Amino acid sequence: MNRKEEIKEAYRNLGKAHNMYDSIMTGSSFVGRLVDKAVWQMDGEDLLEYQSLPFEVISADFKGKLLEVPVGTGVISMPVFKTLTKADITCLDYSSKMMESARKRAEELQIANIAFVQGDVGRLPFEDETFDAVVSLNGFHAFPDKEAAYKETYRVLKRGGTFSGCFYVEEANLHTDRMIRRFYIRTGFFTPPFETIESLQNRLSRMYESAEVTNVQSIACFRCKK
């Protein structure tokens, strides 16, 4: 099995979702699948595809320090972290409530090499060049101060380290853009301004030694090397 297949397999084995948020992220309930289709025009394979892409740069025998920000409920990352038995993992989120679910999930999966830190991505409580890998899933469309978040994730990453992740971008699917404007911005889940695939590629190429951006519908996936 290659790395992509290993990661997809980990998600397939995730089991029952913890709550509505998780069921939308994994398409594991009728309502979750309805939202995934109606808003994102994605099916289960699309979800697996965009959620596994950011982890493909992290090999199964990764031994370094990894930061995930924001961890949320850990629904996407914990199954993968379970496979990274040699890594030293730190998860950070603004919301202790979301992170409590992630902590429980880590306990259920018996992940021992993991720590949880409550904090702000715009002021990360770590020294410069602490981490070998920084992963950020579905965070940048939510962060209110995106400039600070880009600077801080770059600052704490070691030279030669990888920054990978995914988040919503505008103009890739106009139907999704309308739904985001109508429902997600009003409720505070998403905070403009948003990147486009092109603006994200340009930004990351300016900051990093190499940067690759792809997309699944309105979700851009990126992998960069510092």
Residues of this chain that interact with ligand SAM (CB under 6 A) are: 25, 70-72, 75-76, 93-95, 98, 120-122, 137-139, 142-143
Q: How far is the CB of 103 from ligand SAM (least distance, A)?
A: 13
Closer CB to ligand SAM, residue 25 or residue 42?
25
| Secondary structure element (H or E) that encloses residue 159, with its range | strand 157-168
Residue nearest to ligand SAM (CB): 72
Contacts of 117 (CB under 8 A, 6+ apart): 90, 91, 92, 125
- Residue closer to ligand SAM, measured from CB, 49 or 93: 93
53 vs 75 by CB, closer to ligand SAM: 75
Residue 204 corresponds to which tokens in the numbers above?
């990351």
**Judged by CB, which is closer to ligand SAM: 155, or 202?**
155
Residue 121: CB minimum distance to ligand SAM, A:
4
Q: How far is the CB of 44 from ligand SAM (least distance, A)?
A: 16
Buried b (16+ CB within 10 A) or exposed e, 80-103: bbbbbeebbbbbbbbeeebbebbb
Question: Smaller CB distance to ligand SAM: residue 98 or 207?
Answer: 98
Question: What residues form DSSP beta bridges with 135?
Answer: 68, 164
SS (H, E, C) 73-105: CCCCCHHHHCCCCCCEEEEEECCHHHHHHHHHH
Query: How near is the Cβ of 57 to ligand SAM at its closest, in Å?
Result: 17
Considering the complex, what minimum distance in angstroms separates the CB of residue 52 from ligand SAM? 13
Neighbours of 142 (CB within 10 A): 19
